[in-house]
Amino acid sequence: MEMQKLYLLVPLAPLVGAAIAGLFCRVIPRWLAHTVTIAGVAVACLASYVIFKDVMAGNTYNGPVYQWLTSGDYHFEVGFLIDQLTVTMMLVVTSVSLMVHIYTIGYMQDDPGYNRFFSYISLFTFSMLMLVMSNNFMQLFFGWEAVGLVSYLLIGFWYTRPTAIFANLKAFLVNRVGDFGFILGIGLVLAHFGTLDYAAVFAKAPELAGNTTLALFGEGEGVALMTAICILLFIGAMGKSAQVPLHVWLPDSMEGPTPISALIHAATMVTAGIFMVARMSPLFELSNTALSFVIVIGSITALFMGFLGIIQNDIKRVVAYSTLSQLGYMTVALGVSAYSVAIFHLMTHAFFKALLFLGAGSVIIGMHHDQDIRNMGGLRKYMPITWITSLVGSLALIGTPFFSGFYSKDSIIESVALSHLPGAGFAYFSVMAGVFVTAFYSFRMYFLVFHGEERFGKAADHDAHAAHARTDAHDDHSAHGDAAAHHADDTHAEEHHGLAPGQKPHETPWVVTLPLVMLAIPSVIIGYIGIEPMLFGDFFKGAIFVDTEAHPVMEELAHHFHGAFAMATHAVTTAVFWLALLGVALSWFFYMKRPDIPAAIKSRCGPLYTLLENKYYFDKFNDVVFAGGARLLGRGLWKGGDAGLIDGIIVNGSVGLVRWFAAVARLFQSGHIYHYAFTMIIGVFVLMTLWVTRA
């Protein structure tokens, strides 16, 4: 009973903080708003650690909190499933969220929406915790939609900016597409299993593995039930975890303040889809078709989203496209049945990606909200803490041996190499090529920001940046990233862009740099500590299911593992290490020694650059086909259906018919008796004729 109270404390503590900061945001002082929300998340983090220790001692839990609704034979409950997978996610969510909350004190200190922002991010934490702690599909869907709602509020936090409103509406609509598939999958589960409880569904799944759903259009044999359920559920994950083609919302989410970019991209919303597929491993293991679908989608995302990071000049967008690519890596791992590897990379990625985003935010503060990396350079000596922590994050991202990202990323690549599922060959090419691409764009950003010539504080640069920002606003609906962090008020935003001539960057205050240091520590060590128990021990036993006979990837991977230290030292002989090193060396040569070469490549590969600049025309395609198609359909229903059929034929037509009938009837209402007598005689004559004819 005591532990059950502790389970309740984890999501409720951030909720209480969010309620106090949100409901009383106009009356309470700023210090109280950030104190109650940080305290709530800190309590949740501490409680998560206690629960983690309890689960490691062998005490898992699966049970209801209360019954929400009964409808016939169906029971809908709010309940918790506390196992190794859950506590891993709880620790990641609460620890990263705590660092983001502390960081926000410094980043949002001049913003008039300070209290409101703290309320939102605390509510975001509550929503994600409800999602990962759920023991049934109904509660999962509640958390799923709640993180979508709060992300809408946070991406459009600066609601006076049209670009922010466009971005949050885009995120909301794209996620509705994914969630439509997700709720159809849940509907299929309820229809065929008769329950939404995870344990009951997983236990019954093997019995229904051979079943099919209703055939499309009522003909044929239908689709395999497990394939249909898994693909529909994964479509939901494609929206939340930003997989091609439902990825288009994630880069535009940069319109929100940097702390929420870190929270969305590192520990909450985008990890929800990865977590969900891992949780549903007993279902996905019953469908190779669904697993191959997952592999292909993840492979495309991992490689082609990485290419887009190469041409980005907004510091936050480089990191955003890195997130897309790394989510693709996690998805590929899920597809080859290496679910524990995907969760391991989710965990390591959460720390170093939060570090990179918060590091980018620190640079933005130091540069007075100039986000264009072409206007930076040489920041290493002005912002030493931001520099060294950003270097740690970049080294972890590219998979440098002994850093956390190395252990999880290399494990994904090896898992893909060992898989024989359809699509695994393409996936292996994608993740290998992605190693070079990731190293290249990551250190392109690092070198341009922290090394080389100082390019800030020059009038010409500011003019160029302003022109570039105007172009971005027109093309991408996202002009200035965090430029409105210092709103003058809620109606008019005063936008600052960069340092004045002669002004120098500065290191950020301790509330910003402390979270950077705290996140840098796990970015270095957590992979070394976690790889053996999480991938090759019994850590996820009972929480993740793998059919080792059909998909023996993890067993084969274990044969190649001889310890974390040996894995790192052996890495220098692998192609992965040399591809990453080549990416770093080439970025240094291109941007530190011969910057004329990238410019020449850009001019000679105009069509390719245009393709990348337009993000493969996904946005244009969506705008023309889906948005344009919806407008065309709406116009057709308006003109043809409403104005033509309803108003024109049914409403006005019936009026015209009555008017015509009345006009004809009026001819027989003359008032003369002989007219009426003549009409009666004609009527009798007609009736007699009909009677004689029938006889």
pLDDT band at 354 (very low <50, low <70, confident <90, very high): very high
pLDDT value, residue 663: 84
Weakest mean pLDDT among 135-139, 221-225, 686-690: 221-225
Q: What is the pLDDT of residue 462?
A: 43
* Lowest mean pLDDT segment, chosen from 80-89, 292-301, 555-564, 676-685: 676-685
Residue 515's CB is within 10 A of a number of other CB atoms, namely 30
Kind plus residue range of the DSSP H or E element containing 69: strand 61-71
Close Cβ partners of 522 (under 8 Å, ≥ 6 residues apart): 348, 351, 404
Q: What is the pLDDT of residue 458?
A: 60
Q: Write down the mean pLDDT value for the chain.
A: 87
Please tell me the predicted confidence (pLDDT) of residue 457.
65
Say if residue 530's pLDDT is above 80.
yes
Q: Note the pLDDT tens digit of each residue in 384-416.
A: 999 999 999 999 999 999 999 999 999 999 999
The predicted structure's pLDDT at residue 484: 37
Residue 670 token pair: 């003359």
Q: Which residue has the higher pLDDT, 630 or 20?
A: 20
603-to-2, 71, 442, 598 alpha-carbon distances in Å: 67, 65, 22, 9
Cα–Cα distances in Å, from 12 out to 18, 28, 200, 309, 661? 10, 21, 27, 38, 70
* pLDDT for the residue numbered 648: 81
Q: CA distances (Å), 160 to each of 226, 374, 471, 495, in order? A: 46, 28, 20, 12
Q: Coil, helix or strand for 643?
A: helix
Q: What pLDDT does 479 receive?
A: 34
The residue among 648 and 166 whose pLDDT is bigger is 166
- Phi, psi (5° rounding) for residue 80? -120, 140
pLDDT: which is higher, 229 or 266: 229
Query: In percent, how much of the chain has pLDDT > 90?
Result: 63
pLDDT at position 220, please?
A: 53
3-state secondary structure of 134: strand
* Whether pLDDT at 498 is above 80: no
Higher pLDDT, 335 or 670: 335
CA 517, distance to chain mean position in Å, is: 26
Cβ-based neighbours of 35, under 8 Å, separated by 6 or more: none
Residue 231 has pLDDT above 70, yes or no: yes
* Interstrand relation of 74-82 and 61-71 (parallel, antiparallel or unpaired): antiparallel
At 159, phi and psi to the nearest 5? -75, -5
What pLDDT does 476 receive? 41
Does residue 641 surpass a pLDDT of 60? Answer: yes
- Helix, strand, coil share of the chain (percent; to 5): 75, 5, 20
| Count helices and strands in the chain by DSSP H and E runs | 29, 2
The stretch 212-235 carries a mean pLDDT of: 77
CB atoms within 10 A of CB 469: 21
HEC states along 327-366?
HHHHHHHHHCCCHHHHHHHHHHHHHHHHHHHHHHHHHHHH
**pLDDT reading at 165 higher than 80:** yes
Q: Give the tens place of pLDDT for each residue, 438-488.
A: 999 999 999 999 998 888 866 444 444 443 443 344 334 433 334 333 333
SS3 of 471, please? Answer: helix
Phi then psi dihedrals of residue 278, to 5 deg: -65, -40
Report how far residue 393's alpha carbon sits from residue 358's, in angstroms, rounded to the nearest whole number: 10
CB 103 within 8 A of CB 515: yes
